Amino acid sequence: MLVDRGLQTTATQGTGDLVLIAPDTGLRPLTAAGDGTQIFYQILTSALAWEIGIGTVHIGPPATLSRDTVLASSIGSARLNLPAGVHSVFSVLPSAHSIYRDAAGTPRSGADALALAARQIATSSGLAGGGDLTADRSLSLDFSALGTRAATAAGDEVIVLTAAGDHIRIPTSAVIAGLALASRSITAAGLATGGGDLTADRTIAVPAATNAQAIAGTATTVAMTPAATAAALTAGDRLGACWTSPNIAITNGGDDSYSHGLGAVPRLVAMQLVCVTAAHGYSVGDVINLSGGHMARGSGESSGTAILTSATTIRLIQAAAGPVVTFISAGGGVVDISKSSFRIVLRAWA
C-alpha cells in the first residue's frame, strides 16, 4: 500500500525495526495506512545510503515500521546497518511493482509487458471455450459444430479431414481400410512361439529338436526335423547299457538267476567261455563267444544250456548230465569242454 505524502524520520540505529518520529506539518505519517498494514518504504540516511523494501506499520505508541522484506539497497539486498543520526523514511512505489504504459503505449509491470483483460481468445467452428482474459480459459474440440459427411454412431468417434477439406466423423469401432487396431493380437499355439499385439513387429517360430532331444525322446515343445529323425533312428540301432555276470562254474544241473538291473527285458544276451586253466589249445584269459541256448550231442550224451530273461533277472540252466558245452577247440576239432578249465560269463544289453 502507498501513503500519499507519507514521510517520517527515525533515529533508530542498526538493522532492526524502526521507531518513527512524528512527521512535519503538511506531511502524513506512514501509520495512516492503518495499524498492521504492509507498505512499500524507502530509508535514506544522511550519508545518502538507501534501502527499499516492504514493511508493516504499527500505530503504537511508539509508532514503528518493521523491515519485513528488503527489495534492494545500496549494499545489495541486505538491510542497512543504520548509523547514529536522523534518517528519512517515506512511502515509495518501486518500479518493479508498478503498472504503467511505456512510450509505445504498452502496459507494463516492471520490465514485463502486460495484456489487457479485455483481450479476447476467439474460437471458430470446431472449438469451444475462449473469452476475455478476466479469467482462465480452456479450449476444447466441439465435434457437434463440424460438418459431417458420414453417418455418426454412438460411442467415441474420430474426426478425419479429407483432402477435399471435408470433416468426416468415423466411429472408433469402424474398420479403416488398410489399417488394423494395435490391440489386435497374433497368438502362437502348439509348438509355435512368439506373437503378441501389433504395437511392434512379431515373429512366429517353431523351435527344431536337437539331436540329443530327438534321441532322448522326452521333449514336447520342439519339432522333429529330417536331421533329428535320422539321428534318433541311428541311435536306436545302438545297444544301451550292458550288464556282465560273475564267472559261473560249469556244473551239471546248475540253475542260477542273476539280477541284471537294466530296467527292462534285455534286447540281446550273449554267453562266453573264459579260460581259467589252459586246455583244448586255449590259454588262460582267452574268451570264446558262444550262442545262447547252446545244445549239442557229444559221446552219445545230451549237453547244452538254456537262458531265460525277464525285466529283472537272467536265469542260466545247465544240462543235468554230459559235458554241458561242446565246442570247437583251438585246433579245430569238436570237443567236450573240460569243465574245471573254463567259466561261463553272461552279458546282456538293454
Three-state secondary structure string covering the chain: CCCCCEEEEECCCECCCEEEECCCCCCECHHHHCCCEEEEEEEECCCCCEEEEEEEEECCCCCEEEEEEEEEECCECCCCCECCCCEEEEECCCHHHCEEECCCCCEEECCEECCCCCCEECCCCCEECCEECCCCCCCEECHHHCCCCCCCCCCCEEEEECCCCCEEEEECCCCCCCCCCCCCEEECCCCCEEEEECCCCCCEECCECCHHHHHHCCCCCCECCHHHHHHHHHHHCCCCCEEECCCEECCCCCEEEEECCCCCCCCEEEEEEEECCCECCECCCCEEEECCCCEEEECCEEEEEEEEECCCEEEEEECCCCCCCEEECCCCCEEECCHHHEEEEEEEEC
Residue 50 pLDDT? 93
Of 291, 290, 273, residue with least CA distance to 282: 273
Residue 131 pLDDT? 83
Residues with Cβ < 8 Å from 314, sequence gap 6 or more?
Answer: 243, 245, 257, 258, 260, 266, 269, 307, 308, 346, 348
Residue 90 pLDDT? 92
Residue 65 pLDDT? 94
Could you list the pLDDT tens digit for every one of the 350 residues in the chain? Answer: 788 888 999 999 999 999 999 888 889 999 998 999 999 999 999 889 999 999 999 998 999 999 999 999 999 889 999 999 999 999 998 877 777 777 887 777 666 666 677 778 887 766 777 788 788 888 776 656 655 544 444 456 666 666 665 666 666 555 455 566 777 888 888 888 888 888 888 889 999 999 888 878 888 889 989 988 887 777 665 666 789 999 999 999 999 999 999 899 998 999 999 999 999 999 999 999 986 444 444 444 556 889 999 999 999 999 998 888 888 888 888 888 899 999 999 999 88
At position 35, the amino acid (one-letter code) is D
Q: How far is CA 254 from CA 251, 288, 289, 319, 321, in A?
A: 6, 20, 20, 7, 10
The dihedral through the CA atoms of 336, 337, 339, 345 has a sign that is negative
Of 65, 64, 90, 72, residue with least CA distance to 7: 90
Q: What is the number of other CB atoms lying within 10 angstroms of the CB of residue 35? A: 11
Kindly state the cell numbers that stand for 272: 562266453
Residue 321 pLDDT? 87
Residue 173 pLDDT? 58
Residue 162 pLDDT? 62
Residues with Cβ < 8 Å from 150, sequence gap 6 or more?
Answer: 168, 169, 170
Q: What is the number of other CB atoms lying within 10 angstroms of the CB of residue 187? A: 9
Q: Are 327 and 337 in contact (CB under 8 A)?
A: yes
Determine if the pTM surpasses 0.85. Answer: no
Residue 141 pLDDT? 67
CA distance 310 to 279: 34
* Environment class of 299 (CB within 10 Å of its CB; exposed 0-12, middle 13-18, buried 19+): exposed
